[in-house]
Amino acid sequence: MYNMMNLTGAILLLISLCYNFNLASFVIEIFWIAASLIGLYKYVKNRSTSAKN
């Protein structure tokens, strides 16, 4: 749930940067999106392997 909320917040902030662009904030939000996607991937991967056992 945390990673999903984190991803949603980062995407919304990225959208807001379209109106008032700031390169530093843009780069930080890209890293937050990447971290959230990695966390979600690991969660789904661990959940699918535990369901098989």
Domain boundaries, the chain: 2-45
Q: What is the pTM of this model?
A: 0.81
Q: Output the pLDDT for position 53.
A: 63
SS (H, E, C) the chain: CHHHHHHHHHHHHHHHCCCCCCHHHHHHHHHHHHHHHHHHHHHHHHHHHHHHC
21-53 pLDDT per residue, tens? 999 999 999 999 999 999 999 999 998 888 776
